Homo-oligomer: A and B are copies of this chain.
Amino acid sequence: MPSIPETSAAELARLCGGRIAGDGKRVVRGVRSLERAGADDLSFASDGKALRRAESSAAGVLLVRAGAGLPGRTLIEVDDPTAALAAVLEAFFPRRTADAGVHPTAIVGPWAEVDPSAEVGPYAVVGTGSRVGRGAIVEAHVAIGRRCTVGDGAWLHPHVVLYDDVRIGPRTEVHSGAVLGADGFGYAVGKAGFRKVPQVGGVELDADVEIGANSCVDRATLEATRIGAGTKVDDLVMLGHNCEVGRSSLLCGQAGLAGSSVVGDGVVLGGQVGVAGHLRIGNGVKAGAQSGISKDVPDGDEVNGSPHMPYRDSMRVQAELRRLPETARLVRSLSKGGGA
């Protein structure tokens, strides 16, 4: 799909800081996947598996790691093909910028301020006392509560909801359907049922955060639920009240954190990971998909499984689990005096 203006392989190499191997004058008119690229297209191979698929790709030019060993092909050799692809795509498909102005159907409440360089789309609602910063984009149907801040260059896609007292950092991007600041799940349990603990805190997302579609970050009971700079959150993720996530962490799709857990910097939580409440997940922790984390995890640990254990142990346990029926049979045979 993505066509680009005619560009030579050499120019593309310059764009991404790569080195040409082969025909630098080769013309590129599109960027495609390995399977669908043709003679006029650039494609990329970021790892060994992709390199094998690249051998049979018809792509005219390939972004690869230096030493990829694809003789006879026109290559752009780089340190990191994914980063190079990002550089190329950024050049031809730059992030859209604000189309300054407030749509006539948008409703901006009293004491709210929208910077003249910001864009506020059709049917958006900006609540009392909220501020939308320079160059920010607030798309159609976004609902912003009271006393919110949308940072400079932030981008709220259609149908994002901010409850009251939500702060969105500069350049932070929130995808459609995400709900920031809904009440945390906090109740006192009494004989007559549950008594709701009013959730009077807020939500703070630092700079360069990205929140996926339909994800939920609940407001804190008293302080703020926080996400640090550069952290990326995928779709359908839930962050319970009072959680604090550090910088440059990745929370993959459908992961969930119960309330009051603290997650460090550079953490990766795989898809559908669950983290119980009131835990500390250290810096640099990596948790495999579907892990269930029920205890604190120290800095740098790799964990897996539900309940979680060190990654290596988990691999061994999984291998033995597959053999468990056989092992158990052997045990029963031994207990009757038999051998293997």
Given contacts A1-B223, A143-B140, contact A177 B161 (CB under 8 A): yes
* Chain A 195-244 residues near chain B, CB threshold 8 A: 195-198, 200-202, 208, 210, 212-214, 216, 218, 221-224, 229-230, 232, 234-236, 238, 240, 242
- Stretch in A6-14, A130-138, A252-260 touching the partner: A252-260
- Quick one: copies of this chain in the complex? 3
The chain B residue with its CB closest to the CB of A201 is B1
Given contacts A95-B198, A177-B161, A324-B321, contact A274 B248 (CB under 8 A): no
Contact A256 B271 (CB under 8 A): yes
Residues of the B chain whose Cβ atoms lie less than 8 Å from the Cβ of A70:
none
The distance in angstroms between the C-alpha atoms of A82 and B221, with both chains bound, is 11
Smallest beta-carbon distance A281→chain B, Å:
15
Residues of the B chain whose Cβ atoms lie less than 8 Å from the Cβ of A276:
271, 289
Interface size of A by CB at 8 A reads: 115
Q: Answer whether residue A125 sits at the interface, using C-beta atoms and an 8 A cutoff.
A: yes
Secondary structure call for the A interface: loop
Given contacts A83-B195, A193-B248, contact A182 B235 (CB under 8 A): yes
Residues of the B chain whose Cβ atoms lie less than 8 Å from the Cβ of A186:
82
Smallest beta-carbon distance A53→chain B, Å:
11
With a 10 A CB-CB cut-off, give which of A122, A139, A140 has the most chain B CB atoms: A140
Residue of B177, B196, B236, B290 touching A306 (CB-CB under 8 A): B290
The distance in angstroms between the C-alpha atoms of A86 and B95, with both chains bound, is 45
Residues of the B chain whose Cβ atoms lie less than 8 Å from the Cβ of A141:
123, 125, 141, 143, 159
Smallest beta-carbon distance A340→chain B, Å:
4
Residues of the B chain whose Cβ atoms lie less than 8 Å from the Cβ of A320:
324-325, 328
Residues of the B chain whose Cβ atoms lie less than 8 Å from the Cβ of A93:
198, 200
Contact A290 B274 (CB under 8 A): yes
Residues of the B chain whose Cβ atoms lie less than 8 Å from the Cβ of A32:
222-223
The distance in angstroms between the C-alpha atoms of A278 and B83, with both chains bound, is 19
Given contacts A89-B200, A195-B83, contact A222 B324 (CB under 8 A): no
Given contacts A175-B179, A331-B327, contact A253 B240 (CB under 8 A): yes
Given contacts A161-B159, A194-B230, A323-B328, contact A289 B317 (CB under 8 A): no
Identify the 10 closest CB pairs spanning chains A and B, nearest first: A83-B188, A335-B340, A182-B213, A143-B158, A179-B213, A89-B198, A82-B188, A193-B230, A161-B176, A216-B235
Instruction: Given A1-B165, A157-B163, A235-B238, output 7 extra A-B contacts at Cβ < 8 Å.
Output: A105-B107, A175-B182, A185-B212, A213-B216, A214-B216, A290-B292, A327-B328
- A-B contacts, 18 of them at CB < 8 A, read A1-B200, A32-B223, A33-B223, A83-B195, A107-B122, A123-B125, A157-B163, A177-B214, A193-B229, A194-B232, A214-B236, A272-B272, A272-B274, A309-B322, A317-B322, A319-B325, A320-B328, A321-B321
